Structure formats: C-alpha cells, structure tokens
Amino acid sequence: MSGLQNLLVPAVLFFALGFLARVIKSDLRFPPDLAKMLSIYLLVAIGIHGGYELAQAELGTALNAILWAILLGLVLPVIGFALMRATRMIDALNASAIAAIRRTRPINSRQHFLTKRLRFVVRLRL
C-alpha cells in the first residue's frame, strides 16, 4: 500500500476528524445510535484491513507479529500488577483488577458499577 492509501484508511480518517474537532474546539457529538454504528463500522474496517495485510504478508512475518501480540498481551498486565504492588499503595486484588482492565469506558451498566466500585475501593486504600 502506498503512503496516500494508508492515510485514507477509515480508522485514520476518524482519528483526523476527532483531532480536527478538538483543535477547532468543536462540540462534535454523534447521536448514540450513530456512534454505535460508527464504532462497529470501524471495528469491521480495521479487521478487514488487518486481514488483507495479513494475507499479503509472508508466513514468518505474520507468525512473528502474532507471537509478539500474544506475548505483549500477557506480559504487560503482569508488569502493571508488579508495579502497582511495588508501590504498596494498592492491595493484590485491586492491583490485579486494574492491571486486567483493557478499556477506558465501561461496556454495560454492570461493568460501570464494578468500575465505580473499584475506583472507590482504590481511593479508600490510598
């Protein structure tokens, strides 16, 4: 893929739109249904683009990338847990929960409740 084609990928265009909205201090808001549809579209577009690129790659290169992705997915939470425990400000249960969280926004109301509860418990420990 050429450099210009890489810039026309939907994920990059949405990032540019968000960046531009922030620079001009726009109050860019999408209706909830449209936001949900756009997020699904972005996930599908990223998946299809990644699958296409993976199909074009050599087997050794693809396996190397997959191995590193799995390794980083396993090692980074362990490092996060170890760093939080090293500070001795967070107990093991909360450190493991924080290290395992992969999203910044909750998916549903139950996860939202658990995230709020976790923040409350962490605040009490500090």
For 48-58, what is each residue's pLDDT tens digit?
A: 988 888 888 89
Q: What is the pLDDT of residues 2-38, one digit of tens each?
A: 677 778 888 788 888 888 988 998 887 888 888 899 8
d(CA 106, CA 94): 17
| pTM of the model as a whole | 0.47
Signed CA dihedral, 48, 50, 56, 58: sign only: negative
Q: Is residue 95 within 8 Å of residue 85, measured between CB atoms?
A: yes
d(CA 20, CA 61): 35
pLDDT value at position 67? 92
By the 10 Å C-beta count (0-12 exposed, 13-18 middle, 19+ buried), 52 is classed as exposed
pLDDT of 104 above 50:
no
pLDDT of 112 above 70:
no
pLDDT value at position 46? 86
Q: What is the DSSP letter of 91?
A: -
Higher pLDDT, 89 or 120: 89
pLDDT of 83 above 50:
yes
Q: Is residue 84 within 8 Å of residue 95, measured between CB atoms?
A: yes
pLDDT of 94 above 60:
yes
Which residue type does 78 have?
V
